[in-house]
Structure 1
Amino acid sequence: MSLRRTLRQTMTVARRDFVATVFTPIFLLFLFAPVIMGAFGAVGGMGAASVAGDSAGKARMVAIVPPDQARIMAEADRRLRTAFRRDEAPPRLLTIAPSADPAAQARTAFESQDYDAAGVLYGALDKPTVLFGPLDRRTARYLGILSRETLADQRLGAEAPTVTVREVRSTRQGASRGGQNQSAFLAVFGVFFLTLFLAGQVVGTMAEERNNKVIEVLAAAVPLESVFLGKLLGMFGVAVLFVVFWGTILGQVGSFLPPAVGAAMGELTPAVGGPAFALLFFAYFTMAYLLLGSVFLGVGAQASTMREIQMLSLPITIVQVGMFALSSAAASRPDSWLATGAELFPLSSPFAMAAHAANSPALWPHVAALAWQALWVAIFITVGARLFRRGVLQSGSGPGWLSRMRGRRA
């Protein structure tokens, strides 16, 4: 009976916070925040792409070679470029006939204002010299390969062999190691992005209750642990609504993607299989939200003003980024001591275990991991409620530890 009453009180608080958050005009702004962020990102991306495209259009790699070698080099360059993607191809080749002083001519070409010289090659092709900028070492190496191909074609002449390649596209029957690692990183990034965007709202949920004296009423009628858990579940309901809304939209958009993109996504096959991975991803997002949210709720409950809440935003973000960095490193090295440590540490465990689901087909570790994380959620909620009871409610809604520290410094 006591457990049922506790659950009923917890769900009452959760429903109260969920309704108070969702049924407001501000929630629509929050729900469509990704559209606003995407619009700003698209504007910035188009500007950056325009600048990059303009710079790429002016970039050249210059080869100072005789006309007979220039023709052979242009053909070798055309052949080598087929191995590059469009955005990774070297700059366009410009050939110039040598003068009496090729070194001075190369320096003049490198400093030309008519184009941006990424690299300038001059001298004999068996021992060429290449001038290049600080960020253009790849272009210099490509010019070295191009000079070798030109010299080989020139010496072989008409006897140069021709190769006709028959290209056959194929798909793997199972998951590749690279696909698993990419799936692991995307899982870590997905959990991190969702918790970074959604879990930070938990910090300020207690400030309003303290300011309007509602927390005393709640604390008198409901155990503080139920209040903390109810608020956490209420905000998690808001997060689930957000994820379902955008997941549905993205799922519909995915059907319009080109076949090549769908084939590339098919390579991202997690080790546990698609359906099991989807369930585990949602489970670990849930645990990540509850773990980080319970910590943030306990810390944020000590703040009584918006300024103190803003002061807490930076360390909270640093903690989340640190967990992401640790789990990303562990995802690229499964079965290492780093991965084991990330899977055991409570705050990084959901991130690392989501990556574990992509790298390993075993399912039993996830049962143990979810139980381990649920235990720490209970610990964090209990500790946060006790700190709030002793530090804030000992004399009404008194100052939290942030205010006390500020008063001591003053």
Structure 2
Amino acid sequence: MSRLIRQTLTIARRDFIATVMTPMFLLFLLAPLLFGSFGAVGSLGAQSVGQNAEGKERIYAIAAPADAARLRSADALIRPAISRERGLPALVTVTPAADPAAQARKLLSDPDIDVPAVLYGPLDRPQLIHANPQSTTARYMAALAEQALRDIRANLGPDRLSQPTFTRVERSSTSLGGKSAAGFFAVVSLFVVTLMLAGQAVGTMAEERSNKVIEVLAAAVPLESVFLGKLLGMFGVAVLFLAFWAAVGINIGALLPPEFAEGISGIAPAIGIPGFVLLYILYFTMAYMLLGAVFLTVGAQASTPREIQMLSLPITIFQMAMFGFALAAIGRPGSWVALAAEIFPFSSPFAMAARAATSGEWWPHIAALAWQLLWVAITIVIGARLFRRGVLQSAGPKFRWFRRG
């Protein structure tokens, strides 16, 4: 056993140094910065387009001056209670013309301004025209007409009758939305990081197979040690990558405004921050080992980059299915979907990371980690045997249903 461990660590150190001590590793290390820059440019462009469109959006109410004042008063009362993300346009009141219906249709068809809905007619029988069949803006204007009519019937002025006092109180427990948000973050971040980093393991076996180095290694070291050593070496590269960006994120986080920290304070796992961080690291290790072992097996079977791409695509699609499986488990804790996602080995790390955010129990995580570790060993053994029998064409112990006498 000590010899196998020493051989495995030798392969791991060899692959780690060969990957890190290259100029391409610096480009790989800065890849998130490049992707983030492209994403920032795209989001800024989309934001500017959205703001431009938002500035040219109005909702019109064709009403007499007295009714228009009531509608504006109701709008000032109701609008602050609606989330800004809904993008509610500004209300504009217009004096009625000779034909209010034609006037409303003309306003709705204004080519220079987006008009989702127009209200006209008396407040007790308002007429609302809109272009979108699922328009929520038209329903909002109907609520304004109802509120304005109630104010008129009650003879109420524009002044508020109550003076509310808002007091923020810290919760004694984590909210359900905060736990779900933490679970969603765990699943998405695990999927993105493992898929991006484990993909580096595909080319290592194919490259060494093409230059015949793998045959030298297979003659000196058991193939299981070669596979596990390469997996550990690439895992060390992944840990270095994550440590670098974690340090960058911590330093950038210290420069963010306090409002940003208050915005994410509600995202809290049920098992606690220290336990969640520990389990997140362990599940990242298991997810990387499982996915990396599959990619190593694929790279060992491929001899050309084209074959690697053709074999990697089904695995990536499979991982996307596991990602969706784990996301479905977040919204249905305790259901058969969540149980199946937690038991199936390739979705188990993602689903159990989400469970750490939504449930405070510890014993399922111990069982899940042992189960996932078993499947890492099974995947490595299967990959080594497939490579030995399919690529090296070497004899080995064959499985027999019975022995001859």
Q: Give the alignment's TM-score, normalised by structure 1.
A: 0.93
C-alpha contact (below 8 Å) 1:81/1:89 kept by paired residues: no
Partner of 1:195: 194
Q: Deviations over 1:261-308 (max 9, x none)?
A: 222322222111110100000100110000111112112211110111
Within 5 A, what are the aligned runs for 1:208-247?
Answer: 208-247=207-246
Q: Deviations over 1:60-105 (max 9, x none)?
A: 1111111211122112212222123434341011111222322221
Partner of 1:119: 117
CA distance in 1, matches of 2:255, 2:57: 35
Within 5 A, what are the aligned runs for 1:141-180?
Answer: 141-158=139-156, 162-180=161-179
Q: How far off is 1:136 after superposition?
A: 5.9
Aligned with 2:41: secondary structure?
helix
Query: 1:395/1:28 Cα in 2 relative to 1: closer, same or farther (>3 Å)?
Result: same
C-alpha contact (below 8 Å) 1:69/1:154 kept by paired residues: no
Partner of 2:252: 253
Partner of 1:23: 21
Within 5 A, what are the aligned runs for 1:309-324?
Answer: 309-324=308-323
Aligned with 1:168: secondary structure?
coil
Aligned with 1:301: secondary structure?
helix
Q: Deviations over 1:124-180 (max 9, x none)?
A: 222322222337612111111111112122222346761110000111122122211
Unpaired runs of at least 5, structure 2? 396-405
Cα-Cα RMSD: 1.6
Aligned with 1:90: secondary structure?
coil
Partner of 2:138: 140
The amino acid across from 1:166 in the alignment is: T
CA distance in 1, matches of 2:185, 2:125: 46
The amino acid across from 1:57 in the alignment is: G
Partner of 2:270: 271
CA distance in 2, matches of 1:317, 1:126: 59
C-alpha contact (below 8 Å) 1:118/1:136 kept by paired residues: no
Partner of 1:280: 279
CA distance in 2, matches of 1:159, 1:68: 12
Partner of 2:403: none
Query: 1:185/1:54 Cα in 2 relative to 1: closer, same or farther (>3 Å)?
Result: same
The amino acid across from 1:336 in the alignment is: S
The amino acid across from 2:190 in the alignment is: V
C-alpha contact (below 8 Å) 2:388/2:394 kept by paired residues: no
Aligned length: 394
CA distance in 1, matches of 2:127, 2:376: 64
Partner of 2:338: 339
C-alpha contact (below 8 Å) 2:224/2:380 kept by paired residues: yes
CA distance in 2, matches of 1:242, 1:189: 18
C-alpha contact (below 8 Å) 2:298/2:308 kept by paired residues: no
Within 5 A, what are the aligned runs for 1:9-88?
Answer: 9-88=7-86
CA distance in 1, matches of 2:32, 2:83: 30
CA distance in 2, matches of 1:135, 1:323: 36
The amino acid across from 1:144 in the alignment is: A
Partner of 2:402: none
Aligned with 1:116: secondary structure?
coil
The amino acid across from 2:273 in the alignment is: G
CA distance in 1, matches of 2:238, 2:116: 49
Query: 1:108/1:92 Cα in 2 relative to 1: closer, same or farther (>3 Å)?
Result: same
The amino acid across from 1:31 in the alignment is: L
CA distance in 1, matches of 2:47, 2:327: 28
C-alpha contact (below 8 Å) 1:119/1:132 kept by paired residues: yes
Unpaired runs of at least 5, structure 1? 397-410
Partner of 2:102: 104
C-alpha contact (below 8 Å) 1:122/1:128 kept by paired residues: yes
Identity %: 57
Question: Mean Cα displacement is larger for which, 117-126 or 258-267?
Answer: 258-267
